Amino acid sequence: MNNIKVDIDVNSGFCFGVVYAIDMAEEILEEHDHLYCLGDIVHNDAEVQRLEKKGLKIIDHEFLRTLKNERVLIRAHGEPPATYKLALENNLELIDASCPVVLKLQNRIKKAHDRDERIYIYGKHGHAEVLGLLGQTKNEATVFMDLNELDISKMPNEISLYSQTTKSMDSFYKISKDLKEAGLEVNENDTICRQVSNRDKELRHFAGRYDKIIFVSGTKSSNGKVLFKVCKDRNPNTYFISDPKELDLSWFESDDTVGICGATSTPMWLMEEVKAKILKMNINNVA
């Protein structure tokens, strides 16, 4: 395998919300030996393990209920009001690293709920961000991933439609169009993060420029699954990995051009390791 050219997509890597949360965690861990984090700080095992070595302790809501007099980081996905109430009861200091885009969306949904609007949220059931959004409505909003989940004949005539910030913009507007064509009055609220949604177009262009694409992402990342499909649709020779160890020499041929890209939860340092491993495979083969 000779003369392989490897490039990393400069637009891949953490979105600003994740950068903000990780920077905040690292800053606190420089002064303290540990910091609790409610849920994975990012949906990438390699990055979580790196931070755990610095003292980050990942906990769930069940453990949170037993915790008192500690610092707890709220990750970029945000949390429902119940978490903040519990923190007051247990004397917990919340380090709120909720993404500003998510906080803005939470506020809009709360105000809409206070106006007694019928709220529908296009998003993934059980996703941390969606649970935070539901909490703004006292869990009264309807969450759906696909129109097939809804019985349109039983829906109110007028609804307010929102979206999880990382969903596809095209899918959101298609859903809104279909609901309107079914006779509903839809108050559209495009709450999709442009830094995430623009990745679709950027990745389609990037994936078309190379013989092979290595898509790097954690298996828990919803955004990663969506963006991997974008690359795979554009370039069938796209391979999903979470760790450089998963690279397979048989994927590559002499003179290949290889593009490396990833999800909004994929650290740049991990993509750099993948690049180094591919180039090392090349050197070993030549030797």
* Class of the domain covering 5-13+196-286: alpha beta
**Fold identical between 5-13+196-286 and 101-192?**
yes
Write out the catalytic residue numbers: 129
Phi, psi of 133 (to 5 degrees): -70, -40
The pLDDT tens digits of the residues spanning 187-245 come to: 999 989 887 778 888 999 999 999 999 999 998 887 888 899 999 999 999 999 999 99
| pLDDT value for 221 | 85
| pLDDT value for 167 | 87
Question: Confidence band (pLDDT; 50, 70, 90) for 287?
Answer: very low
| pLDDT value for 1 | 52
* CATH number for region 16-99: 3.40.50.11270
| pLDDT value for 282 | 61
pTM of the model: 0.84
CATH of 101-192, one of 3.40.640.10, 3.40.190.10, 3.40.50.620, 3.40.1010.20: 3.40.1010.20
The pLDDT tens digits of the residues spanning 17-33 come to: 999 999 999 999 999 99
In the chain, what are the domain boundaries? 5-13+196-286, 16-99, 101-192
DSSP the chain: --S-EEEE-TT-S--HHHHHHHHHHHHHHTTSS-EEEES-SSS-HHHHHHHHTTTEEEE-HHHHTT--S-EEEE-TT---HHHHHHHHHTT-EEEE---HHHHHHHHHHHHHHHTT--EEEES-TT-HHHHHHHHTTTT-SEEESSGGGS-GGGS-SEEEEEE-TTS-HHHHHHHHHHHHHTT-EEEE-----HHHHHHHHHHHHHHTTSSEEEEE--TT-HHHHHHHHHHHHH-SSEEEESSGGG--GGG--TT-EEEEEE-TT--HHHHHHHHHHHHHHHHHHH-
The pLDDT tens digits of the residues spanning 107-126 come to: 999 999 999 999 999 999 99
Q: What is the mean pLDDT of the chain?
A: 93
Give the Cα separation of 105 and 167 in Å (integer).
13
